[in-house]
A = this chain, B = another copy of it.
């Protein structure tokens, strides 16, 4: 099927999906899970092909690790679909309702978007994950995966479609979009057929989608997250939060990338903090003031304050006070998650009011900014734009709404 055919078929299926009951969608998710479990061997074989091709092409190991599936990872994909069935269905929820002067009743109700395009990189588990989230939220999915994962994605999508068919749901609810760059272009310009595009991947991919799309885009992911340690901070707590935010899982977007320390506590905080970071294997790229506290600190180039390392590296700077910290964050933030550690309520309120990000944290690790931690159950990504959804996007964020306006013959005077 070429892209146009797929998009038209998905649009048709979306009409069916929009009126499916939660019971029918949950049955479909379990059927998708069963069908995927049934092809585990084929999927692992196909994935081995993808991995071999990637290795032959000299792909670096960190990417190979994202591409490679194991029995455990496949089991995780299957369980992920079953977990979605256990979540509440946002479609049909009444957001608000009221009556107009003449008695006309207005009800604002959640509805699916319709057709959602997901453009993502090599992780093949995203294929089942995104298809499941779209289905549970009543949306048809056009999945544009990486060519590096093509064999894995083909086996996965074929299984998911079989699962849908087995319970009488149109398999056209899920499509794998294949072909060259020109096809990605068709997807990005399919306004009218595709309601929303969600790019999942690195900054380059997201930038390309934002620039090339006429379909509305929800930008996700890049997180140059800061931690500001205020003069009044509990320093033990600050060290614990810093280590957790930086080192617990450095490769994710809610991990800390820059440490800002109030000059007045630099002496008391940095020696302990730098030792703890070194202990955890973190390389600190600091300004002169920071470097003064440890020979292990390497000098930070100015552009490093814009870096999303996603590794065990951390930029660090000593600042004159909270306003200098806020200024630094305004200049370098990607609008993801920004943290202050402070014992001063006024400082916390000033930071909350002045920092513009999807999440502003006070005395807690930025690692909590996550759909799972927030209790959303599922997450398609973390939005760093302000339109529609901001921060972790769960099932509710995968819906739009419509107004139902009911009267008994009222006209406008």
Q: Is the CB of A409 within 8 A of B196?
A: no
Interfacial residues of chain A within 220-245, with CB under 8 A of chain B in the complex: 234, 237, 240-241, 243-245
- A302 interface residue (CB < 8 Å to B): no
User: How far in angstroms is the closest Cβ of chain B from A393?
Assistant: 12
User: How far in angstroms is the closest Cβ of chain B from A98?
Assistant: 7
Contact with B along A391-407 (1 / 0, CB 8 A): 10000000011111111
Q: Within 8 Å CB of A409, what residues of B?
A: 234, 237, 240-241, 363-364
Q: Is the CB of B403 within 8 A of A367?
A: no
Q: Is the CB of B401 within 8 A of A240?
A: no
- A294 interface residue (CB < 8 Å to B): no
Cα distance A211–B215 in the bound complex, in angstroms: 9
Given the known interface contacts A374-B106, A412-B244, the answer about A401 and B407 at a Cβ–Cβ threshold of 8 Å is no
Q: Is the CB of A400 within 8 A of B386?
A: yes
Interfacial residues of chain A within 171-228, with CB under 8 A of chain B in the complex: 191, 195-196, 210-211, 214, 216-218
Cα distance A103–B208 in the bound complex, in angstroms: 40
Contact of A364 among B98, B210, B362, B410 (CB under 8 A): B410
Given the known interface contacts A100-B373, A367-B412, the answer about A390 and B401 at a Cβ–Cβ threshold of 8 Å is yes
Cα distance A151–B278 in the bound complex, in angstroms: 64
Binds B, one of A160-168, A262-270, A352-360: A352-360
Given the known interface contacts A244-B412, A353-B18, the answer about A362 and B217 at a Cβ–Cβ threshold of 8 Å is no
Q: Is the CB of A365 within 8 A of B100?
A: no
Given the known interface contacts A365-B410, A412-B368, the answer about A386 and B100 at a Cβ–Cβ threshold of 8 Å is no
Q: Is the CB of B375 within 8 A of A100?
A: yes
User: How far in angstroms is the closest Cβ of chain B from A255?
Assistant: 11
Contact of A369 among B348, B369, B405 (CB under 8 A): B405
- A19 interface residue (CB < 8 Å to B): yes
Given the known interface contacts A217-B216, A388-B388, the answer about A368 and B100 at a Cβ–Cβ threshold of 8 Å is yes
- A86 interface residue (CB < 8 Å to B): no
- A80 interface residue (CB < 8 Å to B): no
Contact of A113 among B18, B240, B374, B386 (CB under 8 A): B386
- A385 interface residue (CB < 8 Å to B): yes
Q: Is the CB of A387 within 8 A of B353?
A: no
- A61 interface residue (CB < 8 Å to B): no
Q: Is the CB of A241 within 8 A of B411?
A: yes
Cα distance A410–B357 in the bound complex, in angstroms: 20
CB nearest to A216 among chain B residues: B387
Q: Is the CB of B362 within 8 A of A406?
A: yes
- A275 interface residue (CB < 8 Å to B): no
CB nearest to A407 among chain B residues: B364
Given the known interface contacts A216-B217, A365-B411, A411-B240, the answer about A356 and B114 at a Cβ–Cβ threshold of 8 Å is yes
CB nearest to A244 among chain B residues: B411
- A295 interface residue (CB < 8 Å to B): no
Interface centre among A243, A245, A368 (most CB of B within 10 A): A368
- A104 interface residue (CB < 8 Å to B): yes
Q: Is the CB of A386 within 8 A of B195?
A: yes
Cα distance A117–B66 in the bound complex, in angstroms: 40
- A111 interface residue (CB < 8 Å to B): yes
Q: List 26 A-B contacts (CB under 8 A).
A: A15-B356, A19-B353, A19-B354, A100-B368, A195-B387, A216-B387, A218-B387, A234-B409, A237-B408, A241-B411, A248-B412, A348-B406, A356-B402, A359-B402, A359-B403, A360-B403, A362-B404, A363-B407, A363-B410, A365-B411, A365-B412, A368-B410, A373-B412, A390-B400, A390-B402, A390-B403
In the A-B complex, the 6 residue pairs with the smallest Cβ-Cβ separation, listed nearest first, are A364-B407, A244-B411, A386-B400, A237-B409, A367-B412, A388-B388
